[in-house]
Amino acid sequence: MPFLNQNVPQRATKAKPSAAKGGASVGFWEGQKLAKQRANEKRSKTAKIKLAAVCTFTQQLASMLDSGLPLVSALAAIEEQTENPVFRIIIRDVRNDVAAGTSFSEAVAKYPRAFPSLFVSMVEAGEASGSLAGLMGKVATYFENSVRLGKKVKGAMAYPIAVITLAIVLINVLLIFVIPKFAEMYSDFDKELPKFTQWVIGASKLLQSNILYIIVAFVILAWILRRFVATPRGRIAKDKFLAKVPIVGPLIRKVAMARFCRTYAILLRSGVPILRALEIVSKASGNTFVEAGVRDMSRDVSQGGQLSDTIAMLPYFPPTVKHMARAGESTGNVDGMMDKAADFFDNEVNTTVDALTSLMQPIIIVVLGVVVGGIVIAMFLPIFNMASAVG
């Protein structure tokens, strides 16, 4: 019995480390969760939310408000459904501000990188007119069209980018791993190699001996270019360059015109003043040509001029926009005519993207075949020459 009594406390003391380890494990994961939450809280102040997420938020908000749900309750329901943790925190803070008595427009205006200026202005107009649900529906439709248009253009660019990337990888593999084997085999030849073969072997040696420097230089150049494009001067240079690129330049122009006309139309229809509407259009355009043109429009309109007259003097704006704006001014239906212009440019973008997609595929395949085939021919050319000499 004494022996058993001595074992009892030993078992108890052995169980303690296990409990301690379990507590430490739980504490570790709780600490990780708390740290992640704090990081998301900090990011929510300056986070950039994708337009697709804002579009979903606006659609849900419009549906709930239209069904008669109070704003605070609608925001609470959307907060629970939102998967993005940073956006969920932003919605929570907006809901808390609205519940505390802050207007919805003031609450969302605190997050300019999450909610576009168009959204904030439409909320202000909705609060002033008492038709917030209806205006949220219009904004949701606008965002949906913008997201669809962006996906259409990105989808058209995805295939060429993927094929070009694959071609670059394939060419580098040939130059770094395959060509040196042929060069080693041809090193015992007494005859001089063809010039084309010498060029390819020289390129292979250059790439092989400087591959690390080339990668580092490419990364540094990409970083510098990215920083430069983020500056006002860099944005102007980028837009000027893209405007001169065949096919791509006209496509970007049509996308910018569709966005300009659609944004301007929905703002006018919602009762936003013209000068304020032009200011929002300038911010939402993302194009320096449109921004410069809108500045001229704002100056002329503030001095009593007509919008169509200013558009007629801007070379970047197609004649369609000028005629639609002039027709709208003469009939008193500017927003309706600009909406029709936006539909026209949307159709033009869809047609151009479809044509570009069908045209790029054979071009890329032919270019890839020529490059890879040229490398293969360069490597087998000495063998062909040697066979013909023997014959």
Average pLDDT in the 8-36 region? 56
pLDDT bin (cut points 50, 70, 90) of residue 273 is confident
Q: How far is CA 51 from CA 48, 58, 87, in A?
A: 9, 10, 12
**Residue 219: both structure tokens together:** 């990364």
Report yes or no on 163 lying in a domain. no
pLDDT (0 to 100) of residue 259: 86
Sorted by sequence, the CB contacts under 8 Å of residue 249 that are 6+ apart come out as: 242, 243
pLDDT attached to residue 16 = 47
User: How far apart are alpha carbons 177 and 174 in whole angstroms?
Assistant: 6
Has residue 331 been placed in a domain? yes
Classify residue 281: in a domain, yes or no.
Answer: yes
Report the 10 Å Cβ neighbour count for 201: 20
69 or 24, which is more confident:
69
Q: How far apart are CA 49 and CA 53, in angstroms?
A: 7
How does pLDDT run across 112-125, given as a tens digit for each residue?
Answer: 888 988 888 888 88
Residue 35 lies in a domain: no
| Inside any domain, residue 280 | yes
Residue where the block lists tokens 């660019």: 157
pLDDT of 220 strictly over 90: yes
* Tally of domains within the chain: 2
Q: What is the pLDDT of residue 138?
A: 84
Residue with tokens 């990105």: 154
Q: What is the pLDDT of residue 219?
A: 92
Of 213, 340, 214, 238, whose CA–CA distance to 289 is shortest? 238
| Helix, coil or strand: residue 182 | helix
The arithmetic mean of pLDDT across residues 210-225, rounded, is 90
In a domain, 230, yes or no: no
Tell me, yes or no, whether 282 lies in a domain: yes
Q: How confident is the model at residue 223 (pLDDT cuts 50, 70, 90)?
A: very high
Give the CA distances from residue 242 to residues 157, 252, 291, 293, in Å, rounded to whole numbers and listed in that order.
Answer: 14, 8, 16, 18
pLDDT of 378 above 90: no
3-state secondary structure of 21: helix
Q: Considering the domain boundaries, does residue 59 fall inside one?
A: yes
Q: What is the mean pLDDT of residues 266-289?
A: 84
Residues of the chain with pLDDT > 70, as a percent, come to 91
Averaged pLDDT for residues 136-150: 84
**111 versus 39: which is more confidently predicted?**
111
Q: Does the CA dihedral 310-312-314-319 come out positive or negative?
A: positive
Question: Regarding predicted confidence, which is higher, 158 or 334?
Answer: 334
Arithmetic mean of pLDDT, 12-16: 45
- pLDDT tens readout for residues 331-374: 888 888 998 998 899 888 888 888 877 777 788 888 888 888 88
- Domain range for 340 is 244-359
What pLDDT sits at residue 225? 92
CA 389 from centre of chain: 58
CATH of the domain at 94: 1.20.81.30
Listed residues 115, 145, 175: the one ending a domain: 145
* pLDDT value at 4 more than 80: no
pLDDT band at 24 (very low <50, low <70, confident <90, very high): low
Least confident of 1-5, 280-284, 313-317: 1-5
| pLDDT at 248 exceeding the cut of 70 | yes
Comparing 165 with 8, which gets the higher pLDDT? Answer: 165
| pLDDT for the residue numbered 98 | 92
CB 171, CB 375: distance < 8 Å:
yes
Residue bearing the bigger pLDDT, 34 or 329: 329
pLDDT at 133: 83
> What pLDDT shows up at residue 8?
43
Spatial separation of the C-alpha atoms in residues 349 and 259, rounded to whole Å:
11
DSSP characters over 279-320 = HHHHHHH--HHHHHHHHHHHHHHHTT--HHHHHHT-TTS-HH
What pLDDT is recorded for position 193? 79
> What is the per-residue pLDDT for 27?
65
Place 3 in a pLDDT band, splitting at 50, 70 and 90: very low
pLDDT by residue (tens digit) across 74-111?
999 999 988 888 999 999 999 999 999 999 989 998 98
Domain endpoint, select from 130, 145, 160: 145
